[in-house]
Amino acid sequence: MKKFINDPDNVVREALAGMAAAHPELRVDLDEQIIVRADAPRPGKVGIVSGGGSGHEPLHGGFVGPGMLDAACPGEIFTSPVPDQILAATRAVDGGAGVVHIVKNYTGDVMNFELAAEDAETEVESVLVDDDVAVDGSTWTAGRRGTGATLLVEKIAGALAEEGAPLAAVAAVARDVNARSASFAIALTAGTTPAAGKPGFDLPEDEIEVGVGIHGEPGRAREKLRPARELAARIVEPVLAAKPLEPGSEVIVLVNGLGGTPLLELYVMFDEISRLLAAAGVRIARSLVGNYVTSLDMAGMSLTVCRVDDELLRLWDAPVRTAGLRWGA
């Protein structure tokens, strides 16, 4: 294993110390292991907390800031945050208007966020993200997994909360974005966790994992590597099958690298995907290409498509100021 680390058991804590040093606009509590925007809690503003295992950066810590999350609670690598950590984040952002928990659908995450919500002194609305249409249940979940759409849910709910909307409305828009989204991923190689020291699975030089999860958990099938244009079709087909789109629909498209794939290749894939969506009569209203919801150093990519309306686009375009996503501010 070749990594820029000191001690495999201390990677998350040291990375948090690095975030604290790099981003003075954030409050990083190394003991509670939470990242909080500096001006939280804001009286009267709905707080938004997300979290999950580390190894998916910039998700979630990189999305803390005005217009997106109020706090993130990163667990150890590919490990759910503990209830105390989630509770500390919830308290830190409680401005008296309630708190939304954005929870990716993994068994451990769901359980620990529930425990924290029960102990919270404020009203909590939990929003489950389960956009990955590759499999219905996996080694990590009951039901679909939460992957790329988490970014869209956090961005759009964050924008509405920033405007001062009430708890029910923020939770409702978050659920709506999840319901409108579908994702699907392909892995060319596995990522390596510092603790394991070797790739999470082995793939022969000419094979890929289709419908892979963000922890390297298996997907739909192991198939032969083939040209980008065929892989794009392999990804677009199940996404459109799971959430059919009328011709004329407007969408936000996220072409997301899983950590080890160069931007050059993501743009090749975007080219192919945009042709396929155009052929289906779908209009790409906004897009994002880059490494946003990753799986350590996995070579691979995911597609997320979210059907939008004018109001969702307005919230998408609203200013955001985080380490990992920033515009208009």
Catalytic residue annotation: 56, 215
Q: Which is nearer to a second copy, 173 or 187 (CB)?
A: 187
Q: Which is nearer to a second copy, 21 or 247 (CB)?
A: 21
- Hey, what long-range contacts does 37-42 have (CB within 8 A, 24 or more apart)? 37/64, 37/65, 37/66, 37/69, 37/70, 37/71, 37/93, 39/66, 40/70, 40/71, 40/92, 40/93, 40/95, 41/70, 41/92, 41/93, 41/94, 41/95, 41/96, 42/70, 42/95
Cis, bond preceding 194 (omega within 30 deg of 0): no
Q: Minimum Å distance from CB 77 to a second copy?
A: 8
Which of 2, 246, 248, 310: binder of a second copy (CB under 8 A)? 2
* CA–CA separation, 111 and 106 (whole Å): 9
- 19 contributes a contact to a second copy by CB under 8 A: yes
- 220 contributes a contact to a second copy by CB under 8 A: no
Q: Minimum Å distance from CB 185 to a second copy?
A: 12
3-state secondary structure of 307: strand
Binding mask 25-44 for a second copy (x = CB under 8 A): --------------------
Count of residues that interact with a second copy, criterion CB under 8 A: 63
* CA–CA separation, 168 and 166 (whole Å): 6
Q: Minimum Å distance from CB 326 to a second copy?
A: 5
Burial 251-286 (b: 16+ CB within 10 A, else e): bbbbbbbbbbbeeeebebbbebbbebbeeeebeebb
Which of 110, 239, 266, 315: binder of a second copy (CB under 8 A)? 266
Which of 274, 280, 313, 317: binder of a second copy (CB under 8 A)? 274
Which of 39, 136, 271, 311: binder of a second copy (CB under 8 A)? 271
- 151 contributes a contact to a second copy by CB under 8 A: no
Across-strand partners of 71? 36, 49
Which of 165, 214, 231, 312: binder of a second copy (CB under 8 A)? 231
Q: Which is nearer to a second copy, 15 or 242 (CB)?
A: 15
- Kind of pairing between the strands at 47-54 and 99-104: parallel
User: How many distinct helices (H) and strands (E) make up the chain?
Assistant: 8, 14
Q: How far is CA 274 from the centre of its chain?
A: 22
- 158 contributes a contact to a second copy by CB under 8 A: no
Q: Which residues bind a second copy (CB under 8 A)?
A: 2-7, 11-12, 14-19, 21-22, 54-55, 57-58, 62, 77, 188-189, 191, 205, 208, 225, 227-229, 231, 255, 259-272, 274, 284, 287, 289, 291, 294, 296-297, 299, 301, 321, 323, 326-329
